[in-house]
Structure 1
Amino acid sequence: MIPDYELTGPPQAPVLVLSNSLGTDRTMWDEQLPELSSHFRVLRYDQRGHGKTPATSGPYDLETLGQDVLDLLDHLDVAEAHFAGVSLGGMTGMWLAINAPERIGGLALLCTSAALGPPENWRERAAFVRANGTRAMVDSTLDRWFTAEFASRPDVVTKYGGMIAASDDEGYAGCCEAIAGMNLREGLGGITAPTVVVAGYDDPATPPEHAERIVAGIPGARLFLLERAAHLANVEQAERVNRLLVEHFVPEGEGMSITSGETASTDGTGTGMAVRRQVLGDEHVDRAIERKTEFTEPFQDFITRYAWGELWASEGMDRPTRSCVTLAILAATGCHDELAMHVRAARRNGVEASTIREVLMHVAVYAGVPKANSAFALADRILDAETDENGA
């Protein structure tokens, strides 16, 4: 089956396939299209039973949905493409990268899972939708897709509530059954496409631990945890997701778009600034740039070039592990200002609070209780503030 699709961007550019989540159509990628189509031939399509792609009788499985993509690529005579997918779209991408690796050049997996059980929950949802229609799913779905403040916006309710209600009942139910029967965990180790995994810190549908398990399974995969983002992180944190996708899919030195007015350079400064923003967050980096003076500028350039452009940009160690090493060193040496910054960065990189605690326990044994005591007090304040901010 060839899904309904649209192509946008330069005809000779590399093809980037964008795959939608359960209950959405391809316009869920509207916020990405202007940026991505300046670099790629963007191929947006609707999953079976969503948008303009008709439903067939269910149940479906991931092979069915993945084969739809292969049929589409064959129809367009595209031998290889990059692939980015949210939720169900990410599951489709993993299936493709495992079963048709020669067709996937690079892979971006957003707010997704390699096994999202228990299966009976998905079969119950399929039965509910067949009995009551997708309109009955609108309110509960919006609560999962977005943080409370974002979900209350009238434009969001109109656009995304309308998407859910417009999804074909049988198509939605069939896709639920595809998720019920999915378990991709054993195949993750065979994925060879360069992979970036993005998770929303506030995502109740596929919490960050699902992304962590994917990253642990795919060789060389990198994880980015986005604050103030729930399940449709590409909508709620569009600018940050755009930057991550371009940085992942555009080779360094080929016009990488980092932020407005910035381009990558071959000396590591551009890459360093991109990585620095990914790890520390835009707000922190923007403040550092604003405070930069003629006296401190050479130092800022130095750390951007070497600490961020070489060490943190290296694929020799994944970022959660690198965060843990950094925390241990900073706590052991009593660098409290830097430690506070990197506790926040570690959470952004997907490091659990319980793991931070274990790191500091090691510091107590190997570097001394007084240093660990100070580090525990500082980290506890930061983690408490994070809990208060998220209303937990």
Structure 2
Amino acid sequence: MTDTLLNHRTEGSGTAPPLLLGPSLGTSYALWDKVAPELSAAHRVVRWDLPGHGGSAAGLIGPGATVGDLAVLVIALADALGIGRFAYAGVSLGGAVGLELAVRYPRRVSSLAVICSSAHFGGARPWEERAALVRGGGLAELARSADSRWFTPGFTVPELVRDHRDADPEAYAACCDALAAFDLRDRLARIGAPTLLVAGREDPATPPAHLREIADAVPGAALVEIPGASHLAPAERPEAVLTALRAHFGGDAASGTRVRREVLGDAHVDRAQARQTPFTARFQEFISRYAWGEVWTDPTLSRRERSMITLTALVAHGHSDELALHVRAARRNGLTPEEIGAVLLQTAVYCGVPAANSAFATAQRVLAEESGEPS
């Protein structure tokens, strides 16, 4: 990574709609670890590090920096990646960057989600004091109190606390300078992008009232409050954040991923996403968008009926591994073992006895595993 560009990670198909994800002060793009892989099923996800955080060079900003300066760095990153118009979601300082982007570069931001953030951060003095503390003594003391500022009692993400401790003090202090100077309240009405505000109900840093203030000022904005979440909601309540972002950013692949999980199970989809590479990302996006987002969501047939058809097709073509997967899916979709057996018996007539014989063996093994009995 060059010293002139924000460190970043890209996930998903290069042809999918781009979605940029911004971090909170003191964290890296690891803040999105439990959310970005899911979003990448429908989007080309680019998550970035603040200057002096994660892998970004500290010299990208200096004393007296503004949130506008950070927005310029994000635009430079998008330009370098060949991204023109993009959706954006950001947490805390990353959310403030999103607001700034939507005001300053309205033609670049197609849709906006602001998470656990604010149009102002309590005035300049607290941030000036924090910047002076960090410039004088580093980040060790602040890192020790990160859990209480970021999460509800008893919850932690050690990787994020380590990111806090390892951030460059001068760059961190410059980000504090940016927060000290930030106040976008008089320009919120200029935001034209569809906007979602996500508040952590237990967030002491940017409580729901801060997000409500933005929602009231931005035309057409929506507000979601997440119970049991403090300041870093994507890390503490990733499922709830995913649900909100999917609904806001939309797309067949997003709904397809949901259906795929409901039919095939979380474990299978998690394994598929863990194995995803830049080479296979476009195919995975195609499967989520077309097979699961268009065909499996068509209400003409029930999921029970779709499972019967799928079992028959897999037997006909001898796809035993896929057959095992869809026997489990058929059970999730409400088919009894007796009904699965009846489907396979039907295949003996129209697909051939040898194919059905192999299918019965596969199905018996799967059903036995589910029941805990010897196959």
TM range (shorter): 0.5 to 0.7
Q: Are residue 10 (structure 1) and residue 27 (structure 2) matched?
A: no
Q: Are residue 48 (structure 1) and residue 51 (structure 2) matched?
A: yes
State the AA in 1 paired with 2:30.
Answer: T
| Corresponding residue number in structure 1 for 2:154 | 149
CA-to-partner distance for each residue in 1:285-313, whole Å, 9 max, x for gaps?
A: xxxxxxxxxxxxxxxxxxxxxxxxxxxxx
Q: Are residue 63 (structure 1) and residue 64 (structure 2) matched?
A: no
Q: CA deviation at 1:141?
A: 2.1
| Corresponding residue number in structure 1 for 2:31 | 28
| Corresponding residue number in structure 2 for 1:117 | 122
| Corresponding residue number in structure 2 for 1:298 | none
Asked if the contact 1:201/1:208 (under 8 Å) is kept, the reply is: yes
Q: CA deviation at 1:5?
A: 1.2
Unaligned 5+ segments in structure 2 are: 264-292, 300-375
SS at structure 1 position matched to 2:183:
coil
In structure 2, what is the Cα distance between the partners aligned to 1:146 and 1:50? Answer: 20
Q: CA deviation at 1:186?
A: 1.1
In structure 1, what is the Cα distance between the partners aligned to 2:166 and 2:15? Answer: 34
Q: CA deviation at 1:122?
A: 0.3
Asked if the contact 1:197/1:222 (under 8 Å) is kept, the reply is: yes
Q: Are residue 138 (structure 1) and residue 139 (structure 2) matched?
A: no
CA-to-partner distance for each residue in 1:251-305, whole Å, 9 max, x for gaps?
A: 47974555742869688xxxxxxxxxxxxxxxxxxxxxxxxxxxxxxxxxxxxxx
State the AA in 2 paired with 1:53.
Answer: S
Q: After superposition, where does 1:77-116 map in structure 2 within 5 Å?
A: 77-116=82-121
Q: CA deviation at 1:139?
A: 2.3
The alpha-carbon distance between structure 1 residues 205 and 72, as it changes in their structure 2 partners (threshold 3 A), is same
Asked if the contact 1:243/1:258 (under 8 Å) is kept, the reply is: no
In structure 2, what is the Cα distance between the partners aligned to 1:103 and 1:25? Answer: 24
Asked if the contact 2:19/2:44 (under 8 Å) is kept, the reply is: yes
Asked if the contact 1:246/1:256 (under 8 Å) is kept, the reply is: no
Q: CA deviation at 1:136?
A: 1.4
SS at structure 2 position matched to 1:161:
helix
In structure 1, what is the Cα distance between the partners aligned to 2:201 and 2:25? Answer: 20
Q: Are residue 73 (structure 1) and residue 78 (structure 2) matched?
A: yes
| Corresponding residue number in structure 2 for 1:211 | 211
Count of matched residue pairs: 262
> Greater shift after overlay, 186-195 or 248-257?
248-257
Larger Rg: 2
Asked if the contact 2:147/2:155 (under 8 Å) is kept, the reply is: no
In structure 2, what is the Cα distance between the partners aligned to 1:257 and 1:242? Answer: 11
Could you say what the CA RMSD is over the residues aligned between the two structures, in angstroms?
1.8
Q: TM-score, normalised by structure 2?
A: 0.67
| Corresponding residue number in structure 2 for 1:261 | 262
In structure 2, what is the Cα distance between the partners aligned to 1:2 and 1:195? Answer: 27
Q: TM-score, normalised by structure 1?
A: 0.64
In structure 2, what is the Cα distance between the partners aligned to 1:161 and 1:251? Answer: 34
SS at structure 1 position matched to 2:134:
helix
SS at structure 2 position matched to 1:223:
strand
Q: CA deviation at 1:108?
A: 0.6
SS at structure 2 position matched to 1:48:
coil
| Corresponding residue number in structure 1 for 2:42 | 39
Which structure has more relative contact order (CA 8 Å, sep 6+)? It is 2
Q: After superposition, where does 1:288-367 map in structure 2 within 5 Å?
A: none
Asked if the contact 2:27/2:161 (under 8 Å) is kept, the reply is: no
Asked if the contact 2:67/2:182 (under 8 Å) is kept, the reply is: yes
| Corresponding residue number in structure 1 for 2:22 | 19
In structure 1, what is the Cα distance between the partners aligned to 2:134 and 2:149? Answer: 17
Asked if the contact 2:71/2:101 (under 8 Å) is kept, the reply is: yes
In structure 2, what is the Cα distance between the partners aligned to 1:22 and 1:203? Answer: 15
In structure 1, what is the Cα distance between the partners aligned to 2:68 and 2:167? Answer: 21
| Corresponding residue number in structure 1 for 2:164 | 164
In structure 2, what is the Cα distance between the partners aligned to 1:30 and 1:166? Answer: 18
CA-to-partner distance for each residue in 1:97-122, whole Å, 9 max, x for gaps?
A: 00001111110100000011221110
In structure 1, what is the Cα distance between the partners aligned to 2:87 and 2:254? Answer: 16
In structure 2, what is the Cα distance between the partners aligned to 1:208 and 1:257? Answer: 29
Asked if the contact 2:30/2:160 (under 8 Å) is kept, the reply is: no
In structure 1, what is the Cα distance between the partners aligned to 2:107 and 2:174? Answer: 28
Q: CA deviation at 1:59?
A: 2.1
In structure 2, what is the Cα distance between the partners aligned to 1:252 and 1:5? Answer: 26
In structure 2, what is the Cα distance between the partners aligned to 1:181 and 1:266? Answer: 50
Asked if the contact 1:19/1:89 (under 8 Å) is kept, the reply is: yes
Asked if the contact 2:149/2:204 (under 8 Å) is kept, the reply is: yes
The alpha-carbon distance between structure 1 residues 255 and 38, as it changes in their structure 2 partners (threshold 3 A), is same
SS at structure 2 position matched to 1:176:
helix
| Corresponding residue number in structure 1 for 2:186 | 186
Q: CA deviation at 1:63?
A: 1.2
Asked if the contact 1:130/1:173 (under 8 Å) is kept, the reply is: yes
State the AA in 2 paired with 1:140.
Answer: S
The alpha-carbon distance between structure 1 residues 166 and 98, as it changes in their structure 2 partners (threshold 3 A), is same
Asked if the contact 1:197/1:211 (under 8 Å) is kept, the reply is: yes
CA-to-partner distance for each residue in 1:56-98, whole Å, 9 max, x for gaps?
A: 2322101110000010111111110110000000000000000
Q: CA deviation at 1:49?
A: 1.8
